[in-house]
Homo-oligomer: A and B are copies of this chain.
Amino acid sequence: MVTLQDVAEKAGVSPATVSRVVRGEGKVGDKCRAHVKKVIEKMGYRPNTNARALASNKTEIVGIIVPNISSPFFGTLAIGAEEAATKAKYKVLMGNSHNEPKTEQALIDSFLEQGCQNIILHSKFTDDATLIKWAKQIKGLVIVNRFVPEIANRCIWLDNVSGGRVMAEHLINQGHKKFAMITSHLKIGDPADRLVGINQSLNRVGLELPENNIVYSNAGMEAGEAGVIELFDRGIEFSALLCFNDSVAIGAINALFDRGIDVPNDVSVIGFDDIIIAKICRPKLTTMNYPINKMAVYATNLSMELTNNEEQEEHKTHLFMPTLTERKSVTKSAS
């Protein structure tokens, strides 16, 4: 392994000078710099990241913590973060929390131990207080998909109320009047916000989504299937079904299909997230696009700015808007 020292000797300069040209900082004469660069090239010198981290107490690593990277949504998040990190020559550490706060804490500790001060965190079950504590000890901590007022400027999140509003409006514009919904049993956060938006749009035109037309469950495909069955058991009539996310929507469509109900001709279904399978399923899903990739890129850049002492407006947060993606699962109401 070639060290800074080796290069310095070969080039006939001091280690300090080589260090300067490697980092591109400090004053170095043009001739000298060119010469050193050539020697570095020739010897194939690569700085030792660990030594550098030890001496400078800094690293160029961003850590990504998500529930499960194999889900398309988080995979997309990870790709965005990785892209931004790689572009800045940062490395990326990855960890799956499986939605367990304990695991999350362990990952944070592990990353910190590695000297990683840039962490992109997607956390739904760790309490605000803990997040605030972490934010204090981790300069580059950024939270994705959650809003914590005390650390607003570290939060990159989505306007779920607006999302709910837009999806309901679209259905209204297609002439739908009878709605049902399959959403998450979590009564706070995203699901609740979307419901607020949906009701805003509905109420404005004198329509409503009766509580009895809402099935609360978890957020997977099975939930969509079970949700449809539950709605039928309750004897609910509806021409438009709002789903918490695309997986739920696809499960619902399958269950409807099994009962001989065609989507979109008999019932319209709308999803949320716009994950890859929304383009693959049949019918292709009309859904709200969640710009998670862009958000991840943004979050990563923000994190790096944070650790590089770049000026950040403390009293600002980072809110993204979901947008309607029209495909084939929603159509005009027959009535």
Contacts and interface: CB of A to CB of B under 8 A. Distances in A.
Interface of A: 46-51, 53-54, 59, 61, 64, 68-72, 75-76, 78-79, 82-83, 86, 91-96, 109-115, 221, 247, 250-251, 253-254, 257, 276-277, 279-282
Question: 4 nearest interchain CB pairs?
Answer: A70-B75, A50-B53, A94-B94, A70-B79
Contacts of A221: 279-280
B47 A113 contact: yes
Most buried by B among A71, A112, A114: A114
Contacts of A115: 48-50
Contacts of A61: 114
A113 B71 CA distance: 30
B250 A280 contact: yes
Given A46-B109, A94-B82, A221-B280, A72 B69 contact: no
Q: What is the oligomeric copy number?
A: 2
B93 A93 contact: yes
A1 to B, nearest CB: 9
Contacts of A114: 49-50, 61, 91
A280 B281 contact: yes
Contacts of A83: 96
B95 A93 contact: no
A281 B251 CA distance: 9
A111 B59 CA distance: 14
Contacts of A68: 79
A54 B46 contact: no
B82 A95 contact: yes
A92 B93 contact: yes
Contacts of A82: 69, 94-96
A14 to B, nearest CB: 21
A16 to B, nearest CB: 19
14 contacts: A50-B59, A61-B114, A69-B78, A70-B72, A71-B75, A72-B72, A82-B96, A86-B95, A91-B93, A91-B111, A94-B94, A251-B280, A254-B282, A281-B281
A94 B62 CA distance: 11
Contact of A50 (B47, B54, B95, B111): B54
Q: Which of A96, A279, A280, A282 has the most CB of B within 10 A?
A: A280
A94 B92 contact: yes
A46 to B, nearest CB: 5
Contacts of A49: 113-115
Nearest to A96: B82
Nearest to A70: B75
Nearest to A71: B75
Given A48-B113, A86-B95, 19 more contacts: A46-B109, A47-B113, A49-B113, A50-B51, A54-B54, A61-B114, A64-B94, A68-B79, A69-B78, A69-B82, A70-B78, A78-B94, A79-B96, A82-B95, A82-B96, A91-B110, A94-B94, A221-B279, A277-B280
Contacts of A251: 280
Contacts of A93: 91-94
Nearest to A80: B70
